[in-house]
Amino acid sequence: MALIRPKDTKPEMLVRKMIFGEGFRYRLHQKSLPGCPDIVFKRLHKVIFVHGCFWHRHPRCKLARLPKSKLNFWEPKLSGNRKRDLRNARRLVGAGWRVLTIWECENFEDRQLEAFLTARPKRCSN
Ligand SMILES: [Zn+2]
């Protein structure tokens, strides 16, 4: 039986492989930042969250459907996760980080990741 480790979800491994191919330096699960982002590019000041659709309540996603039983347990729990995610993202953005969220159901492509990592913050030019 496979041991399920939430920190090594399949989409996350995929993203990590892509990033590795691009040669970017990163750290994983930085606990000192709000929400403990999955992948952190400290020098670029960018973070990536890889979210499971169910646990993080991906809006309008069929993987995020609530279970039929114990609804009064799941609903507040999962809604709480979602609210916490949004709050953490706001805190990160407020501190000058750029945040990318990748959902487990998404067909995420290398070039989207590259666009996020290579985009420069707007600067005032002289
Ligand atoms: Zn989804």
CA 126 to ligand 1 center in whole angstroms? 43
CA 12 to ligand 1 center in whole angstroms? 14
| pLDDT, tens digit (0-9, with 9 covering 90-100), for 30-53 | 899 999 999 999 989 999 999 999
Q: Using alpha carbons, list the distances in angstroms from residue 118 to 15, 44, 105.
A: 15, 9, 24
The confidence band for 7, taking pLDDT boundaries of 50, 70 and 90, is low
CA 54 to ligand 1 center in whole angstroms? 8
CA 62 to ligand 1 center in whole angstroms? 7
In this model, does residue 10 exceed pLDDT 90? no
CA 109 to ligand 1 center in whole angstroms? 16
pLDDT on residue 124:
56
CA 102 to ligand 1 center in whole angstroms? 9
| pLDDT, tens digit (0-9, with 9 covering 90-100), for 79-118 | 999 999 999 999 999 999 999 999 989 887 878 888 898 8
The sign of the dihedral angle between the CA atoms of 7, 58, 110, 93 is negative
What's the per-residue H, E or C state across the chain? Answer: CCCCCHHHCHHHHHHHHHHHHHCCCCEECCCCCCCCCCEEECCCCEEEEEECCCCCCCCCCHHHCCCCCCHHHHHHHHHHHHHHHHHHHHHHHHCCCEEEEEECCCCCCHHHHHHHHHCCCCCCCC
Cα distance between residue 1 and residue 99, in whole Å? 35
CA 123 to ligand 1 center in whole angstroms? 34
Beta-carbon contacts of residue 125 (< 8 Å; ≥ 6 apart): none
In this model, does residue 4 exceed pLDDT 50? no
